[in-house]
Chain A
Amino acid sequence: MFHFSNLVRSKSDPKIISTGPSSLTSADRLARGLGWFSIALGTLELLAPHRVTYALGMDGREGLVRAYGVRELLAGVLTLSVEKRAGLLSRVAGDGLDMATLLGELRPSNPRAGTVLAALVMVGGIALLDYTAAQDVAAQHDARRGRKRLYNDRSGFPKGIAAARGAALPRPARSTALS
């Protein structure tokens, strides 16, 4: 990957010799994985809803699956953005909706009830992951982390505020000459 960006660089600019450690934390990675998972699932639901309805014995509800696909795509984009936490929480809500829908399909008359049950377990597991990731991301970005200090002794004026007020008056004509 970096060989390409080295190629387009000006000849005397620094080049990447080797890549260092990544600054991504495990929480970032988990969120990123879930975001891409959301996009993959969303794409499948949107473009091939029949596969989903067939596997789960819910023929005729392709429209619903498509709508869920759009929801997954939006949640995926949000999760991959700076607003990871909002994305993950929206995924948790989405997981709840998925589970409610699957529960509705879990009737004895459904010949695919076994698959539905497996899907339910899977969504449950993913919901747990989404929730954990949301918690981790929130903790990581918590502004209350670290020492709290106020800087009420930092005026920036060595001679005090009173001396600073208007000290630059009268304003000199702006100089446009090069230094």
Chain B
Amino acid sequence: MSDPEIEHERDAIIRVTSCAICGSDLHLFHNYIPAMMPGDIMGHETMGEVVEVGSGVNGKLKKGDRIVVPFTIICGECEQCRRGNFSVCETTNRNRHLAEKVFGHTTAGLFGYTHLTGGYPGGQADYLRVPFADATHIKVPDSLTDEQALFLSDIFPTGWQAAAQCDIEPDDTVAVWGCGPVGQMAIRSAILLGAKQVIAIDRIPERLAMAEAGGAITINFDSESVVGRLNELTDNKGPEKCIDCVGFESHVSMAQPDSVLDRAKQMFMLENDRPHALREIIYACRPGGIVSIPGVYSGFSDMVPMGALMNKGLTIRTGQTHVNRWTDELVRRIEDGQIDPSFVITHTVPLAQGPEMYRAFRDKQDSCVKVVLKP
């Protein structure tokens, strides 16, 4: 590939020093999200050193600055940005018309996430052009290592926002479906935010062990009844707050017939999503509770139990992450030693090994939980 160049005056170019593979990259890897083309560069968790700045960046960045690049591209000026709703910025999606057709209104441009969200090249590369760079950056204090700072771009604020959206109260049980990297961050965030009890649900032993290390009680859905255990742990009342860190590629298992049916429908394009986790969440959640969905859904989900959702008076909170809304606070918490997000990294390899690591991550081989790539 050739290297990117400054295109607009608000662009900056960074030399990537670390980047990561995110769980949502797998949705692209599996070609579930349309509009990928040969030569598209993936990756939306990236950090590096500024090597070139456009004339419109107005001194907000200079050569040599060390920055983390948030995965949502923000203009910092539109009405949504001013409200802090950065992931629905109105100006940064350069394929706005496509997104308006699909979603009704546009959402922000995202790095390395297909042409529906702007077709911006991603950061799993040697160099990255950052559009709207005067707003789209997080300055990294020298005291933080790359590994501590990198996840400010996505999974840390994503897990944090998922927990923050739950309005956790001191007596709350927070149940987290899916213990991938975002699930791990959500678990820690719920602990920091004062949940009485955090319950983590997955089937991969190393992820469950990591969740337990972070203070969660674990449920292995391969060997236990999720709803049964949740009731047992909550005096038969169910968790007040439920977080879906699974999204639309939930595990397919013969033991869960709805997941098999979803997979078949998805294959023949009769529905886009496999919402097994969401169904279970709506069923398990305590009446009056909050369901927070950081997991990615792509289109239409069948058989979402609206009856239970409405009659139980559940609140649903969703969204791609408003990364910069949380930045200052999270940087401070890392600096304070409240949390060190680097705990989640299990593999650090040169960028050239990316393809193999996508496989290992996808198939959960070599106990892979989170991969960092070094260009």
Tell me the total A-B contact number using a CB cutoff of 8 A. 180
Judging by beta carbons under 8 Å apart, are A14 and B365 in contact?
A: no
Q: Which DSSP category, helix, strand, loop or mixed, fits chain A's interface?
A: loop
Judging by beta carbons under 8 Å apart, are A156 and B188 in contact?
A: yes
Residues of A within 8 A of B191 (CB): 157, 161, 164-166
* CB of B194 closer than 8 Å to a CB of A: yes
* CB of B232 closer than 8 Å to a CB of A: no
In the assembled complex, the CB of A163 is this many whole angstroms from the nearest CB of chain B, namely: 8
Distance A9 CA – B325 CA, assembled complex (angstroms): 31
* CB of B341 closer than 8 Å to a CB of A: yes
* CB of B81 closer than 8 Å to a CB of A: yes
A150 and B206 in contact, given A11-B7, A156-B340, A178-B324 (Cβ under 8 angstroms): yes
Distance A60 CA – B214 CA, assembled complex (angstroms): 67
Judging by beta carbons under 8 Å apart, are A153 and B213 in contact?
A: yes
* CB of B37 closer than 8 Å to a CB of A: yes
Residues of A within 8 A of B4 (CB): 12-14
The listed residue with most A CB atoms (<10 A of its CB), out of B191, B205, B263, is: B191
Chain A, residues 76-102, CB within 8 Å of chain B (1/0): the string is 011001110000000000000000000
User: Which one of A39-47, A107-115, A118-126, A137-145 is at the B interface?
Assistant: A137-145
* CB of B278 closer than 8 Å to a CB of A: no
Q: State which of A10, A142, A168, A172 has its C-beta within 8 Å of the C-beta of B192.
A: A168
Distance A179 CA – B330 CA, assembled complex (angstroms): 12
Distance A176 CA – B205 CA, assembled complex (angstroms): 38
Judging by beta carbons under 8 Å apart, are A16 and B37 in contact?
A: no
Judging by beta carbons under 8 Å apart, are B337 and A143 in contact?
A: no
* CB of B328 closer than 8 Å to a CB of A: yes
Judging by beta carbons under 8 Å apart, are A14 and B125 in contact?
A: yes
In the assembled complex, the CB of A5 is this many whole angstroms from the nearest CB of chain B, namely: 4
Please list the 6 inter-chain residue pairs (A to B) with the smallest Cβ-Cβ separation, ordered nearest first.
A146-B366, A176-B84, A156-B343, A12-B7, A166-B194, A23-B355
Q: Which residues of B approach A to under 8 Å, CB–CB?
A: 1-7, 11, 30, 37-41, 76, 81-84, 94, 119, 121, 125, 129, 135, 138-139, 164, 170, 184, 188-189, 191-194, 204-206, 209-210, 212-215, 252, 263, 267-268, 324-325, 327-329, 333, 337-341, 343-344, 346, 355-356, 358-360, 363-369
